[in-house]
Amino acid sequence: MSTILEVTQLTRSFGGLTAVSNVDLTLEQGELVGLIGPNGAGKTTVFNLLTGVYPPSSGTIVFSSPGQTQSLGGKAPYAICRAGVGRTFQNIRLFKQLTVLENVMIAYQQNQRYPLATSFLRLPGFRRAEDEIREGARELLRVMHLDHVADELAVNLSYGGQRHLEIARALATRPTLLLLDEPAAGMNPTETAQLTELIRQIRHDFGLTVLLIEHDMSLVMQVCERIYVLDHGIVIASGTPDEVRANPRVIEAYLGEEVDHA
């Protein structure tokens, strides 16, 4: 196993608030790792730092893709995506007025380029390239069980469907590292169980490393091999699900400190 992501002393402050403070985080190739913590712990901020939405205040993010090791800190989001980091959003961010298929096609076409003249003049190769993009996108819809709604507008999908579509779109960028921000939020237990299975499957089929933020503890404990616990922007614990579950600091962060009445 080799290290795919190495985050060292990652810090981000907004004005006087330090949202993420000296976070160290390492992902090995092929791992499925959870990032948990109470509301406002800084989990999504970590994702936003990893994907370039904000530049880090300090610290380094080193990402290794096959044949290349690069620093992601300060890079633009699209460049980080092209390096091989895909993500989904906690507050779903689909292209709502486009069809399900178009949503995935736009992600897929980033690796299927053809020149501007081909677009304007419908030169030979346009139709073939477009067919490849469409078929590639359809294939991903099949994987995410969305092929039957391919021509619906994204906004008309159920909540669970929209979350699936976010993953399909992220997969279409052909990532090696996939960041899932609360993929099961708003789902019922049955849907969550199905999603858990699906996440395992796509990790295997696409050879992914997955880092996921999740509130649903059953999902995290079942699916994740290792867990990082964040509280007030600081990593307070890490380890296997069992280790984390038994850690008094984690219990304290989630349930509050025991009050001595004596």
Partner 1 sequence: MKNSLVRQALMLWLPLVATYVIVLLLVQANIIDAYMQVTLATICINIVLAASLNLITGFTGQFSLGHAGFMAIGAYSTALVSMRWDSVFGFLGGLLLGGVLAALVGFLIGLPTLRLRGDYIAIATLGMAEIIRILLQNFEFTNGAAGLSPVPQYMDWTWFFILTVGSVMLISNFIRSRQGRDAIAVREDEIAAESIGVNTTRSKVLAFAIGAFFGGIAGGMYASYFYVIKPEQFGFLKSVDILVIVVLGGLGSLSGSVIAAFLLAIISTLLQPFPGVRMILYALLLIIIMIFRPQGLLGNRELSLRLLPRFGRRREAAASGTEEA
Which residues sit opposite 231 in a β-bridge?
234
Q: Which of 93, 142, 204, 249 binds partner 1 (CB under 8 A)?
A: 93
Strand 58-65: give its sheet, edge to edge: 17-28, 3-14, 58-65, 68-71
Supply the angle between the helices 100-108 and 126-143 in degrees, to the nearest 10. Answer: 110
Residue 176 contacts partner 1 per CB under 8 A: no
- Burial 172-210, CB ≥16 within 10 A → b, else e: bbbbbbbbbbbbbbebeeebbeebbebbeebbeebebbb
CA–CA separation, 228 vs 14, rounded Å?
Answer: 23
Contact set for partner 1, span 139-158 (CB under 8 A): 151
CA dist., res. 259 & res. 243, Å (int): 24
Q: Are 86 and 175 in contact (CB under 8 A)?
A: yes
Q: Does 114 bind partner 1 (CB under 8 A)?
A: yes
Report, in Å, the least distance between residue 247 CB and partner 1. 33
Applying CB under 8 A, the span of 23-31, 36-44, 65-73, 113-121 interacting with partner 1 comes to 113-121
- Binding residue for partner 1, selected from 64, 109, 176, 192, defined by CB under 8 A: 109
Distance between CA atoms of residues 63 and 222, nearest Å: 27
Rounded least distance, CB 100 to partner 1, Å: 13
- Which residue among 44, 45, 64, 173 contacts partner 1 (CB under 8 A)? 173
Closest to partner 1 by CB, 36 vs 137, is: 137
Q: Which two tokens stand for residue 130?
A: 């477009």
Minimum CB–partner distance for residue 214 and partner 1 (Å): 19
Instruction: Answer yes or no whether residue 95 interacts with partner 1 by CB under 8 A.
Output: yes
**Closest CB to partner 1 among residues 62, 129:** 129
169 binds partner 1 (CB under 8 A): yes
Q: Please, which residue, 106 or 236, has the CB nearer to partner 1?
A: 106
Distance of alpha carbon 119 from alpha carbon 130, whole angstroms? 10
Question: What backbone phi and psi angles, to 5 degrees, belong to 238?
Answer: -155, 155
* Binding-site member from 4, 10, 170, 223 for partner 1 (CB under 8 A): 170
Using CB under 8 A, list all residues that contact partner 1. 51-53, 76-78, 81-82, 86-87, 89, 93-98, 102, 105-107, 109-114, 116, 118-122, 126, 129-130, 133, 151, 169-170, 172-173
